Amino acid sequence: MVKNNLIHREKKRQKLEQKYHLIRRSSKKKEISKVPSLSEKWKIHGKLQSSPRNSAPTRLHRRCFSTGRPRANYRDFGLSGHILREMVHACLLPRATRSSW
């Protein structure tokens, strides 16, 4: 099992990302490459850098829904590989086929 503090950290990152999502999107819509003056580019960069690091969507990790494992996750199911295999063999997932791997 995963330590609870790692799961809480991920939840905190998700909340921060949702909170600052509109701010990041509005400042990125201005398209920094199309802004003519350098001072305006710096202002846009300053807005992006003033938000917390954990509010960036690239810092989020997908975790297994049942175990909290951060690696080998399937997006469609939200489960890690070995849990997915066990559930398929137990016929708990509809339309999922078995394999012998």
Shared-domain flag, residues 41 and 82: no
Region 82-93: mean pLDDT is 89
Q: What tens digit of pLDDT does each residue of 48-76 get?
A: 777 888 888 888 888 888 888 888 899 88
pTM over 0.85: no
Shared-domain flag, residues 81 and 96: yes
Shared-domain flag, residues 68 and 55: no
**Dihedral sign computed on CA atoms, order 77, 79, 83, 85:** positive
Helix (DSSP H) and strand (DSSP E) numbers for the chain: 3, 2
C-alpha triplet 79, 80, 85: angle, nearest 5°: 90
Q: What tens digit of pLDDT does each residue of 5-38 get?
A: 888 888 888 889 888 888 777 777 666 667 778 8
d(CA 45, CA 33): 12
**What was the pLDDT predicted at 54?**
85
Shared-domain flag, residues 4 and 49: yes
d(CA 9, CA 54): 10
